[in-house]
Amino acid sequence: MRLWTGFAVAVALLVGLVGAGEGRAEQASCDPLAIDLTLTPQRTPNYPSLKETLSVQAARPARADVVMLGDSLLAGWSTDLPAAFPATAIYDFAVGGDRVPNVLWRLEKTDLSHLRPEAAVLLIGTNDLAGGTPACAVTIGIENIVGRLRSLWPEARIFVLTIPPRGADFHVLDAGRLEVNRGIGALADRIDGVHAVSIDDDAFTCGQYGKRPSADGQRLSCDNYVEDNLHFSTKGYVELARILRQATIHTLGKNLFQ
């Protein structure tokens, strides 16, 4: 009965999307089953990620200026955040391996209402795409997370980072990734207090993204990434910090990341 109810909710969501404007018309054709799976909060089935989830929940602070949510691309930053932003209290609520349903589960199971941050940063979706979730469902899932954050912290600014390139030649999963990133831009256009933070694909990959995709799978190299061309190096996090600082200065007229 629960599965059918979730399916019905997904169908209802699609009906609502049809009249939500030209920017969302493409989402109306998204597979309802994919949407239902993406919007159903789920505890991660991965043991290391579950241990990390419990650790992150236990580390919930009394206050935070900024909360970061997402997967390993933000979780990998946690130990260096105090050095990167010494004047900003940041709670890294990201967990390695997470997908949209896992973020929704943690938001549902963790009381963060007392934090009242000035901003939240969201970076999610690369693991969903790698797991075969259609880009349209990932986009709808990101919008759902943003809606939860807006309800949780009405005064907070929400900064949604675009999904950066990945893979040996930085073009793996590109079609879906670029579709999601377009959806992130449209989302920011529709909702007050939500800002899309675009990671320049070519600049972030040290100019490698603009090259023709390799036919033989040859690995390209960039100092912003570690060897897997997925996760960020220390230099990559320095660049990400610069991007976030510039985004807040541009949109708010002040630097939230100090």
Q: Is residue 10 part of a domain?
A: no
Q: Is residue 13 part of a domain?
A: no
Q: Is residue 152 part of a domain?
A: yes
Nearest to 210 by CA among 165, 254, 241: 165
Q: Give the SS3 label for residue 119.
A: strand
Q: Is residue 258 part of a domain?
A: no
236/223 Cα distance (integer angstroms): 7
User: What's the distance, CA 107 to chain centroid?
Assistant: 14
Q: Is residue 15 part of a domain?
A: no
Q: Is residue 39 part of a domain?
A: no
Q: What is the pLDDT along the chain (258 residues), one digit of tens a residue?
A: 344 444 444 444 443 443 344 345 556 799 999 999 999 999 999 999 999 999 999 999 999 999 999 999 999 999 999 999 999 999 999 999 999 999 999 999 999 999 999 999 999 999 999 999 999 999 999 999 999 999 999 999 999 999 999 999 999 999 999 999 999 999 999 999 999 999 999 999 999 999 876 677 688 999 999 999 999 999 999 999 999 999 999 999 999 999
Q: Residue 37: which residues within 8 A CB-CB, separation 6 or more? A: 101, 133, 137
Model confidence, pTM: 0.89
> In what side-by-side order are the strands of the sheet with 66-70?
90-92, 66-70, 119-123, 157-161, 194-197
Domain that holds residue 119: 46-252
Q: Is residue 112 part of a domain?
A: yes
The domain total for the chain is: 1
